[in-house]
Amino acid sequence: MKQRWWRAGILVLVLFAVNAVARLIVWQVAPHDTKKQTAIGLIAAGAVGAVMIAGGYLWARRVHMARVVGELAVAILVGCAFSIVLGPYAGGSAPFKEGGDFLYSEVWHYLALAAAGAAFGVLVAITLGQDQKGRAWRRFEEQQRVRHMGRRATERRSSGGRRPAAKS
């Protein structure tokens, strides 16, 4: 059980680190410049999305889809909670200082962006046939080809699908 959640814990820490570093940069570089704060926030949001795209792709390659959805959902929720409760301390503020409206919008934006990134990563893995089911279908296809055509089928496939040149 410990091994199962180890990767999710690392993903939570990476998500929190992205948020904390962005808040620290805002605090140190642009404490009163709203344009720079917005730019840094958008870069951090893009980084969260990119992390979740990679996470969704890697999870879809390793485990079955039910576990992918469950483990990524837990990682997103815990990463969001850490970023909302502990993240403001990295920026020299307090968790609920900005008010309820800001907190509510921050939570929903974070969850939507992280979930969309994870879904995109999973869809990329499915599209490329790298998920568990895609690889199982590929093995099944190979077994059926061998059964019906003999060993020649695997030899032809390993040559990249090219036919030998015709002799004149």
Q: Are residues 33 and 54 in the same domain?
A: yes
Q: Are residues 154 and 100 in the same domain?
A: no
User: Looking at the predicted structure, is the pLDDT value of residue 159 above 70?
Assistant: no
Taking the whole predicted model, whether its pTM rises above 0.85 is answered as no
Per-residue pLDDT tens for 43-63? 999 999 999 999 999 999 988
Q: How many CA atoms lie within 13 A of 118 on its CB side?
A: 23
User: Looking at the predicted structure, is the pLDDT value of residue 29 above 70?
Assistant: yes
| Both tokens assigned to 73 | 């959902």
Residue range of the domain that includes 149: 132-159
| In a domain? residue 167 | no
- CA dihedral sign, ordered 29, 95, 35, 79: positive
Q: Are residues 42 and 115 in the same domain?
A: yes
Q: Are residues 20 and 93 in the same domain?
A: yes
What mean pLDDT comes out for the span 118-139? 89
Write down how long the chain is: 168
Q: What's the total number of domains in the chain?
A: 2
Q: Are residues 84 and 67 in the same domain?
A: yes
User: Looking at the predicted structure, is the pLDDT value of residue 81 above 80?
Assistant: yes
Q: How many CA atoms lie within 13 A of 2 on its CB side?
A: 0
| In a domain? residue 168 | no
